[in-house]
Structure 1
Amino acid sequence: MRRKIVEAVVVNKNSQKGVAQMYGFTEATVSHYVRAYKNEGNAGLTYKKRGRRLQSCTKLCLENEEKVRDVIEHHTPDQVGLECVLWTRKAVRQYISDTYGITYSVRDMGDVLKRWGFTPQKPMKVAILIWFSIGLRSITQPFKRKLSKKKPPYIGQMKWD
Structure 2
Amino acid sequence: MAITLPDSRGLSDDVMQALRVRALHAIESGFSQADVARVLGVAGETVSRWWTAYTTGGLDALPQDRTGRPVGTGRTLSDTQCAHLQQLLDTKSPADLGIAAPVWNRRAVRDLILKEYGLRMPIRTVGEYLRRWGYTAKKPSRHARKQDPDEVREWLEQTYPAIEKLARVERATIFWCDETGVAADAYPGYGYARAGERATIQVPDPHIRINMVSGISNTGEVRFMTYAGTMTAERFIAFLKQLLATVPGAIFVIVDSLSAHTTETVATWVQEHEERVAVFYLPRYSPELNPDEYLNNDLKGNVHDAGLPDTSKTLRSRVQRFMHKLLMLPKHVMSYFLHPKISYCSSD
**TM-score normalised by L of structure 2:** 0.29
Select 2:32's aligned residue among 23, 26, 29: 26
Matched ranges for 1:14-53 at <5 A: 19-21=28-30, 25-26=31-32, 35-46=52-63, 48-53=65-70
Higher fraction of helix: 1
**Aligned mates of 1:35, 1:111 — CA distance in 2:** 38
Amino acid at match of 2:29: A
* Aligned-pair CA distance for 1:80: 1.7
RMSD: 3.7
Change (3 A) 1:40 1:107: same
- CA contact 1:20–1:26 (8 Å) conserved in 2: no
Percent of residue pairs identical: 26
Select 1:97's aligned residue among 114, 128, 134: 114
* Aligned-pair CA distance for 1:79: 1.7
Q: Which has the higher contact order (CA 8 A, sep 6+)?
A: 1
State the Cα deviation string for residues 88-111 of structure 1 (Å, max 9, x = none).
111111111011000112222112
Any runs of at least 4 consecutive aligned residues in structure 1 with deviations exceeding 3 A, and if so which? 1-6, 27-35, 38-43, 148-151
* Aligned-pair CA distance for 1:5: 8.6
SS in 2 for 1:103: coil
Amino acid at match of 1:105: P
- Consecutive unaligned residues of structure 2, counting only runs of 5 or more, are 1-17, 37-46, 147-185, 190-348
The count of residues paired between Structure 1 and Structure 2 equals 122
Q: Looking at CA atoms only, which structure, 1 or 2, has the larger radius of gyration?
A: 2
**Aligned mates of 2:22, 2:121 — CA distance in 1:** 48
SS in 2 for 1:71: helix
Match in the other structure for 1:76: 93
Amino acid at match of 1:71: L
Matched ranges for 1:4-153 at <5 A: 19-21=28-30, 25-26=31-32, 35-46=52-63, 48-126=65-143, 129-130=144-145
State the Cα deviation string for residues 28-67 of structure 1 (Å, max 9, x = none).
9899756413534433235542442233221111111110
SS in 2 for 1:87: coil
- CA contact 1:84–1:91 (8 Å) conserved in 2: yes
Change (3 A) 1:123 1:40: same
**Aligned mates of 2:61, 2:130 — CA distance in 1:** 39
Amino acid at match of 2:117: Y
**Aligned mates of 1:105, 1:5 — CA distance in 2:** 39
**Aligned mates of 1:31, 1:112 — CA distance in 2:** 34
* Aligned-pair CA distance for 1:150: 6.0
State the Cα deviation string for residues 105-159 of structure 1 (Å, max 9, x = none).
2222112211221111000122xx33xx6xxxxxxxxxxxxxx6767xxxxxxxx
**Aligned mates of 1:89, 1:27 — CA distance in 2:** 43
Amino acid at match of 1:115: R
Change (3 A) 1:73 1:5: closer
Higher fraction of strand: 2
Change (3 A) 1:82 1:48: same
**Aligned mates of 2:105, 2:23 — CA distance in 1:** 53
- CA contact 1:77–1:85 (8 Å) conserved in 2: yes
Amino acid at match of 2:84: K
**TM-score normalised by L of structure 1:** 0.57
**Aligned mates of 2:53, 2:138 — CA distance in 1:** 51
